[in-house]
């Protein structure tokens, strides 16, 4: 039964993926992409990875989807006519097809040739978990055992926003924004926002024991912000630049400070003192949640401060 | 042996292949970006799926995927910034064919 | 201190170059001062070094630049021969160049690279192994390029391109040879003949191949036929550069390198036993005859001189292929003699061009009346090239001839005689025109009218080198003469 | 306290500098950056000293030992790259400070610059294949940002191309990581090197990783993104990209190749890399000869030089320790001298463009007359790139040639020499233009002395490297560094001795025997 379900999921993944790439117009492709993301969230649950499922739904499908749709909104003006890319006569098509088929073949070969052995790392994580300061193994890996990866990953996120800031700085005129002046929506928002904030806090709190954590919480926070933004409430860099920047960097800075503080004791980087591990991780997560929320939100809002419509060169 | 893990490893392989296909086929930048994301999801599935085929949950690859998702969204956002800007300046969603001078 | 001397000698030109690069274009006085000061200082230092070498010391400095590979600067007797020649001729050429470039642009760049060029020549002469030799050999290529293209005209840019194509390719072949011999025998220092001599017999074919590569690489600069193509084309450079190229630096560097390979890497005994010298002698003979024949066909003075260089430099190579002391002396001494005589000829050709605008041979008619001193110097150089006594060229040919007979290579004598006749054939008509043809109504382009002959800075170096050419012939018996020094080298290093 | 922990300092400083730069005003950003450059230089030097005292250092992050945690590792190879980065990025930072005019553009440069530096250090020191992925992504995104940040149309096209290539490359690499983890259950490089068995999954994994890394290193025919990105970026950025950023993926490739013994398990793959390198030399050189823009010439030269570096791979032979050591030394020296020379060349090219005000080669006429110093900086770097002595490039070529002879692979010799001649051709083509007579000499601008000095310093360093190459090379022969490094004589004590005694050895003149 479950195998059937899995196979169904598998085929829907492949179908949605193909539709994402081939559906015309592009808008439908993006919609299929978001659906693919939601499907993936289900798959992650089947793979016993609820953390990823949450993240996939919130970030992979949610934020990425919103970003794509937002971009499409600009494309719309251009009457972007895209013809079907699948032209059997073009060499490009055949090269792409052959490459992708050979990739599939090779990967399949690799998969079949590799025996399924339990990884020793999972065991080590289980053994070290009591000393990690948290109960949830994934949070332990992310913020303790492999916290260095996470630190750099936040760096990647900051770089993305930095480039956004750079490009947005080119011109400071404000673009007219899509607004949702619907009163009903406003009312819904009034209910939804506190609810989402609560969800976010819960996810953060839960992270130490069960699925959830800074990323998922941050994503929900960002989603809240995006909703507010769409309804006309501007929480952007322009409102208070310094404060906003500080908010964006808060998570990264706190993380960095905690990481460096180990050096004072002569410990390796990112070492948490034994008793403080849990608290430090919580502090980091708190700061990260806020910053990730702000960063993801800004990823969405920043491009809205680009050249005004009428000044765009054709 | 976990059949889900094997099946979704296969699914991951399929997504990788489809993603690569799209990435190489399309010239439309946003389609390319979608293809990249599909391929990324495929890699993530393969990473967790392959490691969990013995039936045990492995938190390490799961954590890696979480990291990977955040990196992917950062890359996507950055790409979208550049593409939008390019769109504003040139009005095109494709790159000029050949840039050799 | 003594061991630092080779480095100091090198640095005098090198630092001079740096200072000149830094000086603003307008500082002509200061630049000339630096130039001449460095030249004089260098001669003094070389004389000091020669003292040490005569006393039996061998100042040496080394620096390990790669594991098991050193840069070695060492003053041995052969090094002093070449260093002495180039330091002396540098002084004259510098004087000449100052006069020649009076009032022309880009002098800062010119003199900077000029000094760099001499620094490389010093490095070549003082190199203690093939690796060090190669470093300066390539540096020489780089520093002469800007001199050749100095005028920035399309022809000179083309000449520069051809020069680079030849010399860099030659350098690459040379590098293969050096790397190969290093792989076979390790870091061979000059004079360390055991390594090659004691090599297992089955490696000998490989060694022969490497020998061929080394000669091929060096042959480009030494202008061995058929690798000589760049030399006549490079004539578009200003006259002091031509003088430098032909008499002091580039061509000589190639010839000197062949001397080092034969005597100091393979050893004359080994080369002779293995039969490596005869093919080289044949190539040298062909070059001598071919160069002379081509010189006959030229109508441009400088091109005729250029082909004459192709021919004359191979005397040096011919000399070293003659197994025996006299041939060796003949070859080594011609390294100096040819330099002195050829530099004289180029100075004179430059004077004719700068004073009266004479470039072609048929424009030389009666110029002896208008420019008697320059023409006298030219005559001395030409006589030397033909091999008439008492000019130095005679001495070279005498030693080469007797050396060939002693080595049992009688056919070389025939080559020498034939080439002397050809030399006469392409120089005597010039002398006839200069001295015996009537003065024409007007010169092609008279530029210097203030002086009876030409500007003193142009005249003096030509006269000085002409006198030195005669002196080298007249006083050949003295120990400090080129011949004396070549005998010292031969006695001390090759025929113990 | 801090200087005793150079490894964490090398990571913390650039990250902190990036954060602080984002928060401060533009003026203070400059000051912070200078201070951070200084700290980086000191930290890398103290890491060098530590290495010489203690041998290779492992730094378990968070006190968790690998494979559970992530370890940073500083061996000779890593320290060489850290030092290279400090020198090149330090000088490039100085150049940027002088080059960029005050304003938002300059303000945005610094945080991106520091993230890039952090990523580079992270990659040099990493010993974990997933961490390398994160490092690569951080590096790529920062580099793309730097390419794009002038915001012009050309810059955007270049940045998008670069980003697409970089993303695909990272993904291919991650695919390999997934397969390796599936097959071996570990991410630690040293674990992997112990467990590595020839197998289908491992081979495919490594092939995917290699493909990704080669795409990021722009090896022919995967190079098309490089010339617009490197040639079109602002001058200091071009220098950083060509000198350092592409080296990161090359470095990872080298690490994988040696530590996972690919050179032993798949010698054919090594040969393939070599031949791709040979094609890159030919194609890059040929294209460099055909460019009309100065910086494009330099960018295509990078394509060719990457090919040159690739020639080290077929020379790493499991059955020939001597050839392998020479190849490793030659290859690494090639990377170091290319970093210095190419950075110097880009900065010099930038100065020349400032002089003439135009980016074309033909605008150079007369520069050798009026701006000899700029041409001189370009020329010095050119000497090293052509592999002419005395320079780091030449010493590297010498070692590679020796290695080719020692492993009896003579066919690489003509490749190397022809490659050198081809680079001579395109370098001298630039001189050719500069020696032409200028039509109007009064239009030359004068770049600041500081800019000239930055370019000259880097170029001169690439020459100097030819004289002191034994120092860096001895770091490569420290014990324990790499499985293949045989130690002819370079034990730790000797390396120490070498660094303490001056290398100028004045030998006493030996009196010759009179005959």
Reading the block at residue A158, the tokens are 């900051």
Nearest CA in chain B to A53: B66
Question: Would D437 be classed as within a structural domain?
Answer: yes
Q: Which of D31, D36, D29 is nearest to D13 (CA)?
A: D36
- Determine contact: D297 vs chain B, CB below 8 A: no
Q: Of all residues in chain C, what percent carry a pLDDT higher than 90?
A: 27
Report whether pLDDT(D150) > 60.
Answer: yes
CB A15 within 8 A of CB B38: no
Report whether pLDDT(B101) > 50.
Answer: no
Q: Do D68 and A121 touch (CB under 8 A)?
A: yes
* Domain interval for residue A269: 132-314
From A93, A103, A117, residue closest to B20, measured CB to CB? A103
pLDDT of residue B76: 93
What are the angstrom distances between the C-alpha of C245 and each of C310, D323, D453? Answer: 12, 40, 33
Total structural domains in chain A? 2
Whether omega for the bond prior to residue D135 falls within 30 degrees of 0, making it cis, is no
- Mutation target for D interface from C54, C175, C203: give the one with most D CBs within 10 A: C175
Mean pLDDT of C128-155: 90
Q: For residue B80, which residues of chain A lie inside 8 Å, CB to CB?
A: 67-68, 71, 303
In this predicted complex, what is the ipTM?
Answer: 0.89
Question: How near does any CA of chain A get to the CA of B100, in Å?
Answer: 20
Q: Do D61 and A269 touch (CB under 8 A)?
A: yes
Q: For residue A166, which residues of chain D lie inside 8 Å, CB to CB?
A: 108, 112, 145, 148-149, 151
Cα separation, D124 vs D91, whole angstroms: 19
Q: For residue A121, which residues of chain B lie inside 8 Å, CB to CB?
A: 58, 60
pLDDT of residue D514: 37
CB D123 within 8 A of CB D253: no
Q: Which residues contact C304 (CB under 8 A, 6 or more apart)?
A: C295, C298, C361, C426, C430
pLDDT of residue A83: 61
**Out of B58-67, C138-147, C482-491, D298-307, least confident range:** C482-491
| Per-residue pLDDT tens over the stretch C86-96 | 898 889 999 99
- Mutation target for D interface from C65, C110, C203, C494: give the one with most D CBs within 10 A: C65
Total structural domains in chain D? 1
Question: Would A120 be classed as within a structural domain?
Answer: no
Question: How near does any CA of chain B get to the CA of D119, in Å?
Answer: 14
From D405, D436, D505, residue closest to C179, measured CB to CB? D405
Question: How near does any CA of chain D get to the CA of A223, in Å?
Answer: 24
Residues A51 and A192 in one domain: no
pLDDT of residue C213: 94
How many CB atoms are closer than 10 A to CB C97? 28
Q: For residue B71, which residues of chain D lie inside 8 Å, CB to CB?
A: 134, 137
Question: How near does any CA of chain D get to the CA of A102, in Å?
Answer: 12
From A29, A104, A160, residue closest to B77, measured CB to CB? A160
Q: Do A51 and B10 touch (CB under 8 A)?
A: no
More confident residue, D270 or D369: D270
Cα separation, D47 vs D53, whole angstroms: 10
Q: Which helix (H) or strand (E) holds D355?
A: helix D321-356
pLDDT of residue D497: 45
**Out of B75-79, D353-357, D491-495, least confident range:** D491-495
Nearest CA in chain C to D495: C67
Question: How near does any CA of chain C get to the CA of D484, in Å?
Answer: 18
Q: What secondary structure letter does DSSP report for D126?
A: B
Residues A180 and A55 in one domain: no
pLDDT of residue D132: 95
Question: Would D7 be classed as within a structural domain?
Answer: no
More confident residue, B45 or C493: B45
Q: Do D160 and B89 touch (CB under 8 A)?
A: no
- Determine contact: B91 vs chain D, CB below 8 A: no
Report whether pLDDT(C496) > 50.
Answer: no
Residue found under tokens 């399929």: B14
Q: Which residues contact D53 (CB under 8 A, 6 or more apart)?
A: none
pLDDT averaged over every residue in chain C: 88
Neighbours of chain B (3+ CB pairs under 8 A): A, D
Q: For residue C487, which residues of chain D lie inside 8 Å, CB to CB?
A: none
Q: Do D161 and B67 touch (CB under 8 A)?
A: no
- Structural domains in chain B, sorted by start: 3-90 (1.10.287.3510)
Question: Is residue C249 classed as helix, strand or coil in its secondary structure?
Answer: coil
Q: Do A47 and B49 touch (CB under 8 A)?
A: yes
C residues 45-104 near D, CB within 8 Å?
52, 56-67, 69, 71
Q: What confidence category does residue D488 fall into, taking pLDDT thresholds of 50, 70 and 90? A: very low
Reading the block at residue A195, the tokens are 């609810």
More confident residue, C270 or A194: C270
From B46, B53, B75, residue closest to D178, measured CB to CB? B46
Q: Do B14 and A14 touch (CB under 8 A)?
A: yes
Reading the block at residue D1, the tokens are 């306290």
Q: Do A156 and D141 touch (CB under 8 A)?
A: yes
From C60, C149, C496, residue closest to D435, measured CB to CB? C149
Report whether pLDDT(D362) > 60.
Answer: yes
What parts of chain A have a pLDDT lower than 70?
1, 75-88, 118, 169-186, 208, 232-240, 303-314
Q: Which of A199-213, C71-85, D334-348 has the highest mean pLDDT?
A: D334-348
Nearest CA in chain A to D108: A166
- Determine contact: D61 vs chain A, CB below 8 A: yes
Q: Do chains A and C touch (3 or more CB pairs under 8 A)?
A: no
Question: How near does any CA of chain B get to the CA of D182, in Å?
Answer: 5
Question: Would A117 be classed as within a structural domain?
Answer: no
Q: Do A49 and B88 touch (CB under 8 A)?
A: no
Question: Is residue C389 classed as helix, strand or coil in its secondary structure?
Answer: coil
Nearest CA in chain D to A269: D61
pLDDT of residue D500: 40
Mean pLDDT of D29-42: 92
What is the crossing angle of helices D321-356 and D392-406, to 10°? 150
CA triple D391-C91-C2, angle to 5 deg: 60
Mean pLDDT of B31-50: 94
Residue found under tokens 């004045």: D506
Q: Do D417 and C62 touch (CB under 8 A)?
A: no
Q: Do chains D and B touch (3 or more CB pairs under 8 A)?
A: yes
| Per-residue pLDDT tens over the stretch C301-360 | 888 998 998 998 899 999 888 888 888 888 888 888 888 999 999 999 999 988 888 888
Q: Do D470 and C66 touch (CB under 8 A)?
A: yes
- Determine contact: D204 vs chain B, CB below 8 A: no
Mean pLDDT of C406-430: 89
- Determine contact: D421 vs chain C, CB below 8 A: yes
Question: Would D423 be classed as within a structural domain?
Answer: yes
Residues A108 and A142 in one domain: no
Question: What does R_g of chain B's alpha carbons equal in angstroms?
Answer: 17
pTM of the model: 0.90
Reading the block at residue D399, the tokens are 């070692």
Residues A155 and A265 in one domain: yes
CB C213 within 8 A of CB D413: no
Residues A105 and A165 in one domain: no
CB D447 within 8 A of CB D355: yes
Q: Do A122 and B58 touch (CB under 8 A)?
A: yes
The contacts found for A194-200 with CB under 8 angstroms, 24 or more apart, are: A196/A220, A196/A221, A196/A223, A196/A224, A196/A227, A197/A221, A197/A224, A200/A224, A200/A289, A200/A293
* Domain interval for residue D388: 266-475
- Mutation target for B interface from A63, A107, A138: give the one with most B CBs within 10 A: A107
Question: Would D32 be classed as within a structural domain?
Answer: no
DSSP string for residues in D210-279: HHHHHHHHT-TTS-TTHHHHHHHS-HHHHHHIIIIIHHHHHHHHHHHHHHTTHHHH-HHHHHHHHHHHHH
Q: Do D163 and B82 touch (CB under 8 A)?
A: yes
CB D97 within 8 A of CB D151: no
The contacts found for A164-167 with CB under 8 angstroms, 24 or more apart, are: A164/A298, A164/A299, A164/A302, A164/A303, A164/B77, A164/B78, A164/B81, A165/A237, A165/A302, A165/D108, A166/D108, A166/D112, A166/D145, A166/D148, A166/D149, A166/D151, A167/A306, A167/B81, A167/B82, A167/B85, A167/D148, A167/D149, A167/D151
Neighbours of chain A (3+ CB pairs under 8 A): B, D
Buried b (16+ CB within 10 A) or exposed e, C319-331: bbbbbbbbbbbbb
Nearest CA in chain D to C155: D436
CA triple D429-C233-C385, angle to 5 deg: 145
Q: What confidence category does residue D490 fall into, taking pLDDT thresholds of 50, 70 and 90? A: very low
- Determine contact: B64 vs chain A, CB below 8 A: yes
Neighbours of chain C (3+ CB pairs under 8 A): D
- Mutation target for C interface from D398, D405, D430, D513: give the one with most C CBs within 10 A: D398
- Mutation target for C interface from D428, D444, D491: give the one with most C CBs within 10 A: D428
Q: Per DSSP, which regions of D39-123 are E strands?
A: 57-60, 71-74
Residues A140 and A106 in one domain: no
Mean pLDDT of D269-278: 93
Question: Would A159 be classed as within a structural domain?
Answer: yes
Question: How near does any CA of chain B get to the CA of A84, in Å?
Answer: 10
Q: For residue D468, which residues of chain C lie inside 8 Å, CB to CB?
A: 65
Cα separation, B73 vs A154, whole angstroms: 12
């Amino acid at each position: 039964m479950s195998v059937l379900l899995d196979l169904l999921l598998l085929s829907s993944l492949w179908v949605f993926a193909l539709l994402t790439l081939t559906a015309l117009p592009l808008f439908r492709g993006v919609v299929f992409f978001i659906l693919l993301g939601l499907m993936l969230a289900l798959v992650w649950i089947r793979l016993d990875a609820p953390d990823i499922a949450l993240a996939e739904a919130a970030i992979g499908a949610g934020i990425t989807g919103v970003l794509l749709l937002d971009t499409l909104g600009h494309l719309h003006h251009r009457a972007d006519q895209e013809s079907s890319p699948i032209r059997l006569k073009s060499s490009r098509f055949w090269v792409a097809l052959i490459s992708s088929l050979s990739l599939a073949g090779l990967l399949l070969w690799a998969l079949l040739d590799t025996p399924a052995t339990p990884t020793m790392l999972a065991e080590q994580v289980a053994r070290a978990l009591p000393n990690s300061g948290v109960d949830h193994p994934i949070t332990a890996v992310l913020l303790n055992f492999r916290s260095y990866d996470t630190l750099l990953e936040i760096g990647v996120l900051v770089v993305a926003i930095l480039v956004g800031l750079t490009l947005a700085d080119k011109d400071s005129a404000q673009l007219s924004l899509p607004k949702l002046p619907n009163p009903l929506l406003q009312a819904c928002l009034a209910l939804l926002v506190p609810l989402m904030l609560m969800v976010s806090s819960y996810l953060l709190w839960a992270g130490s024991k069960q699925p959830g954590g800074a990323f998922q919480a941050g994503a929900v926070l960002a989603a809240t912000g995006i909703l507010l933004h769409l309804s006309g409430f501007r929480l952007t860099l322009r409102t208070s630049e310094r404060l906003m920047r500080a908010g964006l960097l808060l998570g990264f800075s706190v993380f960095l400070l905690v990481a460096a503080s180990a050096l004072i004791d002569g410990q390796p980087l990112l070492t948490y003192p034994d008793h403080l591990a849990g608290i430090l991780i919580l502090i980091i997560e708190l700061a990260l949640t806020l910053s990730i929320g702000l960063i993801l939100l800004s990823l969405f809002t920043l491009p809205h401060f680009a050249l005004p419509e009428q000044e765009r060169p054709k | 042996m976990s059949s889900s893990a094997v099946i979704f490893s296969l699914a991951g392989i399929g997504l990788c292949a489809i993603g690569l296909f799209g990435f190489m086929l399309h010239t439309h930048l946003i389609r390319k970006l979608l293809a990249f994301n599909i391929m990324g999801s495929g890699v993530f599935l393969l990473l967790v799926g392959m490691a969990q085929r013995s039936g045990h949950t492995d938190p390490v690859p799961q954590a890696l995927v979480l990291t990977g998702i955040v990196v992917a969204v950062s890359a996507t956002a950055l790409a979208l910034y550049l593409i939008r800007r390019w769109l504003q300046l040139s009005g095109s969603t494709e790159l000029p064919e050949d840039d050799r001078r | 201190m003594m061991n630092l001397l080779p480095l100091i000698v090198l640095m005098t030109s090198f630092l001079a170059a740096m200072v000149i690069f830094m000086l603003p274009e307008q500082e002509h006085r200061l630049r000339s001062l630096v130039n001449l000061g460095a030249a004089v200082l260098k001669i003094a230092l070389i004389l000091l070094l020669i003292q040490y070498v005569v006393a039996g010391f061998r100042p040496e400095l080394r620096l390990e630049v790669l594991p098991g590979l050193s840069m070695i600067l060492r003053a041995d007797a052969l090094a002093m021969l070449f260093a002495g020649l180039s330091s002396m001729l540098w002084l004259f050429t510098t004087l000449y160049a100052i006069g020649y470039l009076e009032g022309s642009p880009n002098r800062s760049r010119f003199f900077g690279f000029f000094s760099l060029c001499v620094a490389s020549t010093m490095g070549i002469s003082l190199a203690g192994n093939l690796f060090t030799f190669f470093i300066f050999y390539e540096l020489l290529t780089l520093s002469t390029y800007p001199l050749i293209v100095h005028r920035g005209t399309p022809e000179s840019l083309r000449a520069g391109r051809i020069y680079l194509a030849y010399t860099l390719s030659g350098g690459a072949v040379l590098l293969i040879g050096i790397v190969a011999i290093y792989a076979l025998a390790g870091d061979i220092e000059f004079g360390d003949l055991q390594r090659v001599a004691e090599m297992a017999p089955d490696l000998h074919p490989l060694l022969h191949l490497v020998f061929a590569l080394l000669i091929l690489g060096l042959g480009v600069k030494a202008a061995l036929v058929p690798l000589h193509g760049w030399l006549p084309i490079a004539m578009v450079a200003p006259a002091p550069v031509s003088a430098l190229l032909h008499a002091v630096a580039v061509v000589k560097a190639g010839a000197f390198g062949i001397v080092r390979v034969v005597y100091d890497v393979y050893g004359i005994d080994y080369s002779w036993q293995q039969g490596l010298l005869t093919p080289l002698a044949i190539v040298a003979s062909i070059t001598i005859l071919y160069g002379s024949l081509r010189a006959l066909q030229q109508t441009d003075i400088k091109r005729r001189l250029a082909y004459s260089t192709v021919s004359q430099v191979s005397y040096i190579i011919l000399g070293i292929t003659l197994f025996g002391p006299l041939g060796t002396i003949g070859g080594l001494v011609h390294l100096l003699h040819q330099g002195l005589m050829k530099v004289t000829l180029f100075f004179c050709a430059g004077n004719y061009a700068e004073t009266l605008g004479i470039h072609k041979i048929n424009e030389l008619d009666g110029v002896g009346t208008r420019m008697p001193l320059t023409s006298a110097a030219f005559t001395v150089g030409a006589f030397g090239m033909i091999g008439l006594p008492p000019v130095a060229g005679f001495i070279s040919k005498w030693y080469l001839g007797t050396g060939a007979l002693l080595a049992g290579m009688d056919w070389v004598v025939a080559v020498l005689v034939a080439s002397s006749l050809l030399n006469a054939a392409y120089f005597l008509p010039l002398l006839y025109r200069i001295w015996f043809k009537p003065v024409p109504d007007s010169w092609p382009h008279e530029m210097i009218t203030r002086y009876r002959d030409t500007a003193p800075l142009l005249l003096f170096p030509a006269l000085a080198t002409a006198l030195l050419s005669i002196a080298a012939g007249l006083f050949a018996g003295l120990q400090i003469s080129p011949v004396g020094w070549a005998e010292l080298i031969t006695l001390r290093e090759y025929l113990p | 306290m801090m200087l005793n922990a150079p490894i964490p300092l090398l990571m913390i400083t650039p990250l902190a500098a990036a954060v602080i730069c984002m928060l401060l005003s533009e003026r203070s950003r400059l000051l912070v950056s200078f201070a951070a450059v200084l700290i980086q230089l000191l930290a890398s030097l103290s890491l060098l000293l530590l290495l010489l005292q203690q041998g290779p250092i492992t730094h378990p992050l968070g006190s968790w030992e690998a494979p559970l945690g992530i370890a940073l590792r500083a061996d000779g190879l890593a320290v060489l790259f850290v030092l290279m980065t400090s020198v090149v990025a330090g000088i490039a930072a100085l150049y940027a400070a002088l080059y960029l005019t005050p304003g938002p553009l300059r303000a945005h440069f610094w945080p991106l610059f520091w993230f890039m530096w952090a990523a580079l250090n992270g990659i040099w020191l990493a010993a974990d294949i997933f961490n390398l992925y994160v490092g690569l992504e951080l590096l790529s995104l920062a580099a793309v940002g730097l390419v794009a940040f002038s915001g012009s149309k050309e810059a955007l096209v270049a940045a998008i191309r670069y980003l697409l290539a970089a993303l695909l490359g990272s993904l291919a690499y991650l695919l390999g990581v997934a397969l390796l983890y599936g097959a071996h259950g570990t991410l630690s490089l040293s674990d992997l090197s112990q467990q590595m068995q020839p197998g289908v999954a491992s081979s495919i994994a490594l092939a995917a990783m290699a493909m990704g890394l080669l795409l990021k290193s722009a090896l022919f025919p995967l190079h098309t993104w490089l010339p617009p990105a490197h040639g079109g970026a602002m001058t200091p950025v071009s220098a950083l990209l060509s000198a350092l950023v592409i080296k990161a993926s090359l470095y990872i490739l080298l690490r994988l190749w040696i530590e996972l013994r690919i050179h032993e398990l798949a010698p054919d793959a090594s040969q393939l890399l070599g031949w791709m390198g040979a094609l890159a030399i030919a194609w890059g050189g040929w294209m460099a000869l055909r460019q009309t823009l100065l910086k494009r010439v330099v960018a295509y030269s990078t394509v060719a030089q990457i090919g040159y570096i690739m020639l080290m791979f077929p020379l790493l032979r499991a059955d020939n320790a001597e050839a392998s050591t020479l190849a490793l030394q030659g290859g690494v020296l090639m990377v170091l001298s290319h970093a210095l020379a190419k950075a110097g060349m880009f900065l010099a090219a930038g100065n020349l463009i400032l002089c003439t005000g135009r980016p074309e080669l033909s605008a150079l006429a007369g520069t050798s007359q009026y701006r000899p110093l700029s041409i001189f900086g370009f020329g010095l770097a050119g000497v090293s790139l052509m592999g002419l002595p005395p320079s780091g490039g030449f010493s590297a070529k010498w070692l590679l040639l020796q290695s080719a002879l020692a492993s009896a692979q003579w066919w690489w010799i003509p490749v190397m020499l022809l490659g050198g001649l081809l680079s001579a051709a395109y370098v001298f083509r630039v001189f050719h233009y500069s020696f032409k007579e200028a039509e109007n000499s009064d239009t030359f601008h004068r770049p600041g002395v500081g800019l000239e000095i930055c370019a000259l310093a880097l170029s001169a360093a690439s020459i100097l490297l030819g004289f002191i190459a034994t120092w860096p090379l001895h770091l490569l022969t420290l014990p324990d560094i790499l499985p293949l490094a045989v130690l002819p004589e370079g034990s730790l004590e000797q390396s120490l001795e070498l660094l303490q005694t001056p290398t100028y050895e004045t030998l006493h003149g030996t009196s010759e025997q009179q005959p």
